[in-house]
Chains A and B, each alone.
Chain A
Amino acid sequence: MIVIDTGNHISALAAKMAKPHVIAAYPITPQTTIVERLAQYVENGEVNAEFIRVESEHSAMAACIGAASVGARTFTATSSHGLLLMHEMLHWAGLARLPIVMVNVNRALGPGWNIWSDLNDSMSQRDTGWIQFYASSVQEAYDNVIQAYKIAENEEVMLPAMVCYDGFILSHTSMPAEIPEQREVDEFLPEYKPAWKMDVEKPATHGNIVPPEYYIHIRYDMHLAMKKAKKVIQEVGEEFGRKFGREYGLIQDYRCDDADYVIVTMSAIAAEGRVAVDNLREKGEKVGLVNLTTFRPFPHEMLRYDKMIVIDRDISPGLGGVVYNEIRGNGSEVYGFMAGLGGMDVNYKDIERIYELAKEGKEGLYPIEVK
């Protein structure tokens, strides 16, 4: 069934259809319509979840952790400063190996207040042990949330996962999405089987003091799980393709086969990028695009094109774009651009311009300082 609705409403729909037991969320622009829609679903009985109207985002994640530790499937959503406020508990969820699923609507950080799209919020969480997906369409937002549960809850992974997409550009824009039947989602998503839980039949303590010689193993296990997640993401993506007709994987490549240059980017910029690639191709340019749909675990092995142009909608002060810095140094010729910071519009014309600049050997913060 085709539904035309905003990124937020469609991801709320996906969350509902994943049948979480507990939802705990705090409103923040531009995520609010997710929480509002979920509250409606709960109140009219469309989803059998307990909805905790927490008093902060830190509490939202703590509540999800508490719930997951008893064996519940959980969901939350946030953005920007809310995500930052959760930061401590994101690390906690990762080390506790609780497969919480969250939607993060990307939004710039302040001061000053900026409600428009920028990826610094989620990029800043890259060391927390959370799997990160980036959606470039409403359809992808839906599909990613469903897959996120399957991937996160995989017994070899057991890591929390976030699905990110641009604030307003995707969160509040209506696009059509093919929504499967509830029965089909139930078949795709098995029941959550926690790796550990609070159980009165078998009392255990979670999180007491861990001496260094044990901690190192806990960290290493997480590290291995994140690496294993690459295989799981591809397998789940293929399975999703067989069942629902839309295949996923670690990345989406577009017209890269005979490309001289490959543009590497994410989310809305990737959507615009496909248009730019088509335009450039028409002019005879041999260019392709990689939509980096998975940022964590970072798919290094799939980004070995000879010449790459990375467009980061984020900045690590003093260092540059985060994705650019994850890629460069691998032997390829990589040009790094930061664009769209603070919600600056990046459309296909900008991307074509960036391509031209890269061909001249330039890189930098577009459009203000490129050399």
Chain B
Amino acid sequence: MVAIKDLPLDEKILKGHAACPGCPITIALRTALKALGEKTILVIPASCSAVVQALYPKTAFNVPTLNIAFEAAASAASGVAAALKALEKKDILPVVWAGDGGSYDIGLQALSGALERGTDFIYVCYNNQMYSNTGIQRSGATPYGAWTTTTWSGKKERQKELAEIVMAHHIPYVATATIAYPTDLYEKMKKAKEMKGPRYIEILAPCPPGWRFDMSKTVEMSRLAVETGAWVLYEMIDGKMEFTGYSKRLLAGKERKPVEEWLKMQGRFRHLTQEDLEKIREIIEAKWDYYKKVYGGN
């Protein structure tokens, strides 16, 4: 495992971009691009990332970046991959960098199609658990109980698990990560980069304005998500699952921090009733019971 001090120094995200202060997206993208390098073509659908680039005729991203319509990231990337192959441009990697909106919901069809076709690309979903760019509306990734501008009294449904849906496509690489563990993210990106075929990485990206917490706590928020089990770190390589980092210890039996520690730091959960809290605990409990049953053997 690489150490933080040994991560490459080259910055592909230029200073003076348009992200909110404390934004997790650019924390993740800086690390990701250190692993991916300059032979990358980013495909970015409508999302916060599309806005972070700033305004024409300038851009803050120093890798070729193709912005595309909201639902079309994976299909545009399929076209990029096919063209690179046809034009014999070896070693250039198309990488989708999409939010949960463009992956879980409107972009799900294109994602599924691209995966099933064995498209040679990496699909990264950075998940801030809502439609952040348009002002904090709910998405299929929004967890149970969360306030959003379209779920004022808290979302009544639990979120879907996109990484698990992706696993059902039987692709070579499926991984989850988050910004608090940059070397874990870096290693996963590097591993994915060396593989062929469809590779999927989902990164939890806590959003200060969306989740309602102080902008200095972004990294802490993602760490707590993992420590409470609300987010999990793993990688599945050709169907074989391996948990990583802190999640690996939780799988082996280390006790999860109570989820309330994570929830109480976020304004979006401020209104939770005891019942809601119980429901959230149950969801996390069930998730980890399942993990232990299915993956706990190692």
Direct contact of A and B (CB under 8 A): yes
Q: Chain B residue with minimal CB distance to A49?
A: B86
Q: How far is the CA of A68 from the CA of B69 in the complex (A)?
A: 15
Pick the contact of A50: B50, B53, B82 (CB < 8 A): B82
8 Å CB contacts to A: which residues of B32-69?
38-41, 43, 50-51, 53-57, 59, 61-69
Q: Chain B nearest CB: distance from A192 CB in Å?
A: 10
Q: Chain B nearest CB: distance from A27 CB in Å?
A: 14
Pick the contact of B80: A49, A53, A59, A70 (CB < 8 A): A70
Q: Chain A residue with minimal CB distance to B91?
A: A200
Q: Chain B residue with minimal CB distance to A197?
A: B64
Q: Does A84 contact B (CB under 8 A)?
A: no
Q: Does B112 contact A (CB under 8 A)?
A: yes
8 Å CB contacts to B: which residues of A230-275?
none
Interface pair B72/A22, CB less than 8 Å apart: no
Number of A residues near B (Cβ < 8 Å) is 42
Given contacts A56-B113, A205-B59, contact A24 B68 (CB under 8 A): no
Q: Chain B nearest CB: distance from A306 CB in Å?
A: 46
Pick the contact of A198: B50, B62, B66, B78 (CB < 8 A): B66
Q: Chain A residue with minimal CB distance to B74?
A: A59
Please, which residues of chain A bring their CB within 8 A of the CB of B92? Answer: 200
Q: Does A52 contact B (CB under 8 A)?
A: yes
Please, which residues of chain A bring their CB within 8 A of the CB of B81? Answer: 66
Q: Does B77 contact A (CB under 8 A)?
A: yes
Pick the contact of A89: B40, B69, B83, B112 (CB < 8 A): B69
8 Å CB contacts to B: which residues of A181-226?
198-200, 203-211, 214
Pick the contact of B66: A49, A64, A66 (CB < 8 A): A66
Please, which residues of chain B bring their CB within 8 A of the CB of A198? Answer: 41, 64-66, 80
Interface pair A66/B117, CB less than 8 Å apart: no
Which residues of B are interface residues toward A (Cβ below 8 A)?
38-41, 43, 50-51, 53-57, 59, 61-69, 71-72, 74-87, 89, 92, 94, 109-110, 112-113, 116-117
Pick the 7 closest A-B CB pairs, nearest first: A66-B79, A207-B67, A55-B113, A59-B75, A63-B79, A62-B72, A72-B83
Other A-B pairs, 8, CB within 8 Å; known A62-B69, A66-B43: A59-B109, A62-B76, A65-B68, A66-B82, A68-B79, A70-B41, A70-B80, A205-B66
